[in-house]
Chain A
Amino acid sequence: EADIYQTPRYLVIGTGKKITLECSQTMGHDKMYWYQQDPGMELHLIHYSYGVNSTEKGDLSSESTVSRIRTEHFPLTLESARPSHTSQYLCASSEYRRPTAGEDNEQFFGPGTRLTVL
């Protein structure tokens, strides 16, 4: 079944630790995204990718980094976690189509990772 997966679902970790949040999709999508969402707040795009070896920064500045070595895999890494990184991290994917008549960007989300940094 085509889907998008994130692991871990919940992570509690101490300050200064290096962490990697995993995201994989079996939907055959080229574009992938990472969002950050605090409770009651809007989603903020922090990274996205058009395909293999493509990574772009989003609207919200983030200390995290991403890589795209395989089409289906888009991990996010924090080299040194801090309490300010506590948030919900959501991964999404979409097909890559040249916008014609406005058609693009139907994004599908994974279940999310809730990160708490103590």
Chain B
Amino acid sequence: QKEVEQNSGPLSVPEGAIASLNCTYSDRGSQSFFWYRQYSGKSPELIMFIYSNGDKEDGRFTAQLNKASQYVSLLIRDSQPSDSATYLCAVTGRNSGYSTLTFGKGTMLLVSP
């Protein structure tokens, strides 16, 4: 089982819709969870982080964490074509004593006008 699992997609949504991106992780000891956006050919940029169970909202983005189910998600409201990118889920990794991040392969999101 991979440490961080994401559906590779592509996830296609029309402009203005809600995009829901999901991530599961295997290590119950992970404490910190991050969502990065990566445009093709570019480096990842941090969108949100979440540490506690529940929801965390920042503008059009909402991160949701359920540690019991080992599940973290990212909702993007009012999706725009400029949101089209690969979204990477990252969690703190056990191998380094939880001081580094393990990344998932990412989910490609396509927002059509």
Contact = CB atoms under 8 A, between A and B. Distances in A.
A binds B: yes
A103 B102 contact: no
A105 B101 contact: yes
B101 A45 contact: yes
A52 to B, nearest CB: 17
A75 interface: no
Task: Give the interface size bracket for A toward B.
Answer: 20 to 34
Q: Which of B43, B92, B95, B104 has the most CB of A within 10 A?
A: B43
B100 A109 contact: no
B74 interface: no
B96 A102 contact: no
Task: Give the interface size bracket for B toward A.
Answer: 20 to 34
A57 to B, nearest CB: 10
A65 B96 CA distance: 18
Interface stretch (B14-22, B45-53, B77-85): B45-53
Interface string A99-116: 101111111111110000
A105 B99 contact: yes
A112 B93 CA distance: 23
Contact of B51 (A102, A109, A110): A102
B101 A103 contact: no
Nearest to B31: A102
Interface string A30-52: 01010000001111010010100
B88 interface: yes
B42 A111 contact: yes
Interface in A77-118: 90, 99, 101-112
